[in-house]
Chains A and B, each alone.
Chain A
Amino acid sequence: MSIIPEELRYLESHEWVHVSNETPGIATVGISAFAVAELTDLVFMALPKVGQSVSAGHEFGEVESVKAVSPMYSPVSGTVVEIHSELVNNLESLSVDPYEGGWIMKVQMSDPSELARLLDWTTYKHQCDNA
C-alpha cells in the first residue's frame, strides 16, 4: 500500500482518508502534514477502540500538543477495524511521515458514498495555503 497525499481525500479539519483498490470497503484515516505542522509538540493521542462505531464529521479521538487539545473528526461512517496503537508512543514520527507510517485507524465503511463529499487534494491544499 502506498499513500500519496495528492491522491487522498480530506476533511476541512485536516483528517485524510485513503481507500486502496485491494480493500475497497476499508478506509484508512490519518491527519495531514499541515495539521501536524500546525499542532507541533505532540504529547498524546486518544484513539477509539476496535469495534467502535464512528460517523462522518463526528469526533473519533483527540490529539494533544503541549499547547492545546484538538479533536479529530472521522471522514467516514462505519466500524473501527484496526487501530495504529504503536503510533501513540511515537507521535514525533508524525512530523516525518503523517501518511504511510502515520495512519491512525482503519474503518469498515457503512456508506462509501460519503467519500465523494470530501475535499480533493487541490481544494484541500488551497484551503491550507490560504489559512
Chain B
Amino acid sequence: MSSQLATTPLHAWHQEHGARLVEFAGYDMPVQYASIVAEHQATRTAAGVFDISHMGRLRFDGPRADQLLDHLLTRRVVDMQTGQVRYSLLCNEEGGILDDVLVSCLESPSGKNYFLLVVNASNRSKIVRWLQPHLADFPDVEYHDVTDATAMIAVQGPRAIELCKPLLPASVLSLGYYRAKVTEQMGKPCIVSRTGYTGEDGLELIVKSEDAPRVWENIMMAGRSFGVQAVGLGARDTLRLEAGMPLYGHELDETMDPYQAGLGFACNLKDRRFIGCDALEKKSKDTTLRKRVGLILEGRRAARQGADVLDSDGRILGQVTSGSFSPTVDKPIAMAYLDPSVAVIGTSVDIDIRGTKVAASIVSLPFYKKS
C-alpha cells in the first residue's frame, strides 16, 4: 500500500476481515472480502453493507444555499422540501457532465435547513476547485467539505430496512424513497437517506468519523441472523451495472451530455438559469449523438470498457463503457454508447473482445429490477 493513499475510518475493520484492498480515487478501499459473486448475491437476497466513506460530502448552510446550488445543478433545487433528496448533474458551460450527485435538503437539530451534496470520490477535488468562484459570488453561503470528518455506510438489500430496526428510530425507517433525515444512532448524530446504488431498497448513513466503526459493527451484528455481508467495490460495481446506473469515468464524463446518457430527467430547463443551461437546451434537441444502451452478450466472456461495438459489416457503432459478468442475469452484460440509428432495443450487434467477435443484443435498462 502506498503511504499517500487516504483511508476511511473503517479501514482497520476491512484489514481485520480479510478484505483485498485496492487504490480507488486516492483511497485504499476494499474491492472484495471473499467473493464478488457471494457479496453481490447477499445484497440481492438479504443485505449488504458498504463502506462508501470515500464519496465526497459537501455541506452548504445559509438562507441562500438553495440559490447557489440551483445555479450549479441541472436539477431544480429552490423548490426542494426539507427531507427531499434529488439525483442531479453538474455540467460545464458546454453541457458536458462534470459529476453526478445527490443533493439533500436537511434540517439541522437547531431547526435550520441546509443542503448536502454527495459527489463522486474521483471528482471531489475537481468539484471543490470548480466551486470556488461560485462560492465567492455567494459570500453569505457557508460551505464545508465534511468528507474527512464523516463516514458513509450503505445498507442495501431486501432485508436492509428490517435489519436496521433495532438501530434506528421508526420514524426514519418509514422514510420514503429518496427521502432523508437527520437523526441519532445510539445518541450520536446520523443522517439517514433512503437512497443507494444497487437497485435494491436500502439506506445510506452518514455519521461522524469517530462513530463509524461502532455503527458498522452494530449493523453487522444486527444483520448476522439476516445473512448480512460486508460488500466491496467489486460487487458495488456489478450491482449498479445490473441496475443500469451510470458510473462517472465510464458512462459519464465531460465529453458526454445528460441527454446522451439517458439522464434528461435530471435536467430542469424550464424557467430557470444554471451553468450549462444554454448548451443543454440545444443538446436536448440533438438526435445525432450516440446514446447509452444496455447489451446482453452471448457466451460467458465479458466486454470491458473501450471494446468496439460493430455492425454485421464490421463498422464501428460505438464503444462499451462498462461490462461484467452479471451474477443475476447469469450472462455477460454491458453498457455502451451507440449511434442513434442502431441504438434500438432488439438490435443485434457484435462486440470486439480482444480480437474475437461476440454477438450481443441491445436490451432495455435496467438489466435487473427489484420485485
Contact = CB atoms under 8 A, between A and B. Distances in A.
Interface in A23-49: 40-41, 43-44, 46
B111 to A, nearest CB: 47
A67 B36 contact: yes
A50 interface: no
Contacts, number: 40
B238 interface: yes
A58 to B, nearest CB: 16
Main secondary structure of the interface of A (DSSP, over half): strand
Given A64-B325, A65-B36, A66-B324, 11 more contacts: A40-B35, A43-B300, A44-B302, A44-B325, A46-B301, A64-B301, A64-B302, A66-B234, A66-B302, A67-B234, A69-B304
Interface of A: 40-41, 43-44, 46, 64-67, 69
Contacts of B36: 40-41, 65-67
Contacts of B301: 43-44, 46, 64
Interface string B285-316: 00000000000000111101000000000000
Contacts of A67: 31-32, 36, 234, 324
Contacts of A69: 302, 304, 354
A40 B325 contact: no
B263 interface: no
B19 to A, nearest CB: 13
A65 B38 CA distance: 13
A104 to B, nearest CB: 16
B34 interface: yes
A69 B356 CA distance: 14
A41 B326 CA distance: 11
Contacts of B300: 43-44, 64
